[in-house]
Amino acid sequence: MKAKRVPVLATTTTATMDDAGKIAGRLVEEKLAACVQIVEPVLSIYRWQGAVEREQEVLLLIKTTQDRIPLIAELLDAIHPYEVPELAATPIAAGSAAYLSWLEENVR
């Protein structure tokens, strides 16, 4: 019997739509994510190198499974322009059975 994989919603941000599109494309092409939604703009307020920063960013909502997070982290480390790219994942506690099945089938 095949073990059930845990679906998660992961997020990252970029400075440009171009970078977001490149990252999203790689994630889906490499089957690390079933879908990536790109949301622009978002205002991020964060602490960086001792100062509070305010920046317009592009948000990526990554639909994937928990077991793919380490590979997504490796990909982001390799291609993301930020020195410390965001990667945070939250389990999807519930959803339609058809959607969750589709998500699992489209992530390898």
Domain map (residue ranges) of the chain: 13-105
- Its CATH class, for the domain covering 13-105, is alpha beta
Q: Which residues contact 92 (CB under 8 A, 6 or more apart)?
A: 7, 8, 9, 100
* Mean pLDDT to the nearest integer, 58-81: 98
* Mean pLDDT to the nearest integer, 42-63: 97
Residue type present at position 106: N
pTM of the full predicted structure? 0.94
Q: Tokens 């489209």 sit at which residue?
A: 106
pLDDT of the residue at 37: 98
pLDDT of the residue at 2: 57
For 27, the token pair is 């994630």
User: Which ranges in the chain belong to alpha helices (H)?
Assistant: 17-29, 69-79, 97-105
pLDDT band, very low/low/confident/very high, at 107 (cuts 50, 70, 90): very high
